Amino acid sequence: METQSQSDAKADVLVRVWGMDAEGHPFFQNAYAGNINNEGALLSGIAHPLKPGDIIGVQYADRKARFRVVWVVDAGPVRKIEAGVQILQNQQNPWPEMSQTATAAARLEGRNKRRFVRHKVLFPLEISFKDANRAHMQTNATDIGGRGCYVESMLPLALGTEIIICFWIDSEKVKTTGIVRASDPGVGMGIEFTALDNQVQQRLQQFLEKMDGGFAAAQAAGDGARKD
């Protein structure tokens, strides 16, 4: 696991980060930025405590900008503190030439592999990581089927991130693994379920169809009541 984390860190770009940490101490250090987009980035390798809402400076090459810390997790001894950061208004993007063209290709590939109808429902799930030091994420899928889902997020996980997913089908808790197949900065991420057997996929699909049908019936009833 540590070897993989080191590889991931080296694949990111080197940046300089500075500001006041969560304990009120100034800091200035090298870090890594990944999952870069026009709205923000994922910083790793930070050796100083940060908290959501902190304002920090980030320099890439000779360009600097100020960012707000959106979330923070302790990612272990290799990647240290990881933080999702969002660029402040009126700040110039420090990495305009960097794009994520692979995202569109991954999204198209994922669509071509779908075998189940996707349902646009709010479906609660928990995302965790094989690295126990990373915090769990309680979130909702907004588009889900038997083979995967889409989770809206301003700062999605990086393309290829392996995750553990837990959700409920009626009174049964289901746990599976997944991988981020599409990462759309400022929008969300597409996740493929990688360890659901066919029977569980079918049961999940039937459960979603029941949920979707219930929402449609409730909406129709509400529309009829307003007309009356």
Q: Which domains does the chain have, with CATH numbers?
A: 2-87 (2.40.10.220), 102-227 (2.40.10.220)
Total Cβ atoms within 10 A of residue 196: 21
With tokens 């907004």, the residue in question is 142
Cα separation, 63 vs 6, whole angstroms? 26
Task: Please list the ranges in the chain whose pLDDT falls under 70.
Answer: 1-11, 78-79, 99-116, 214-228
Res 36: pLDDT = 84
Res 211: pLDDT = 84
3-class SS of residue 166: strand
Res 155: pLDDT = 82
Residues 6+ apart with CB under 8 A from 163: 127, 128, 129, 157, 177, 178, 179, 180, 191
Q: Is 194 exposed, middle or buried (0-12, 13-18, 19+ CB in 10 A)?
A: middle
* Structure tokens, 94: 């420090």
3-class SS of residue 217: helix
Closest by Cα among 17, 8, 92 to 47 = 17
Cα separation, 12 vs 32, whole angstroms? 6
Res 175: pLDDT = 95
Cα separation, 158 vs 34, whole angstroms? 8
Cα separation, 124 vs 54, whole angstroms? 29
Res 11: pLDDT = 45
Res 156: pLDDT = 85
DSSP β-bridge partners for residue 58: 17, 65
**The model scores a pTM over 0.85:** no
Under a CB-based contact definition with an 8 Å cutoff, are residues 193 and 169 in contact? no
